[in-house]
């Protein structure tokens, strides 16, 4: 069973930006920063978080730059669907789909979004408490 949490949605009608040179995730997509890739599609990339909060902690991002979840949802709902589908694929590939996992989108500083490029956290491999931290 999977749960999706959308935290602190902001913004509306923002357009995608193909790449932002100072964005860490854009640099990962371009190959300028190494990452441990889990899955990749033509429009998405999944890689291991460098500071994992669970035994499985994978980030799923669009290859194009959207600053947050609201911007992506307003600009390209089909890409948002692809991100969610890839999160489920990550869970299957990592062997946590049967025991359960969490998919989290943090939006904005108060929600803990550290990189201003929309990303989903796929967390699992241990019991996850509620409410989240």
Q: Which of 39, 12, 19 is nearest to 120 (CA)?
A: 39
CA pair distance 49, 47, nearest whole angstrom: 7
Residue in 57, 65, 117, 119 annotated catalytic: 119
Contact yes or no for 4/122 (Cβ under 8 A): no
**Residue-wise over 57-73: b if at least 16 C-beta within 10 A, else e?**
bbbbbbbbbbbbbbbbb
Alpha helix positions (H), the chain: 24-30, 69-75, 77-93
Instruction: Tell me if residue 119 is catalytic.
Output: yes
Catalytic positions = 119
């Amino acid at each position: 069973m999977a749960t999706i949490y959308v935290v602190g949605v902001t913004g509306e009608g923002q357009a995608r930006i193909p790449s932002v040179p100072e964005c860490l995730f854009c640099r990962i997509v371009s190959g300028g920063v190494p990452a441990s890739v889990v899955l990749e599609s033509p429009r998405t990339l999944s890689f291991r978080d460098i500071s994992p909060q669970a035994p499985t902690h994978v980030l799923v991002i669009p290859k194009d730059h959207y600053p947050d979840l609201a911007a992506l949802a307003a600009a390209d709902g089909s890409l948002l669907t692809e991100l969610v589908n890839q999160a489920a694929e990550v869970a299957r590939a990592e062997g946590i789909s049967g025991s359960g996992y969490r998919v989290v989108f943090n939006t904005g500083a108060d929600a803990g979004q550290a990189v201003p490029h929309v990303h989903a956290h796929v967390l699992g491999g241990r019991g996850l408490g509620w409410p989240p931290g």
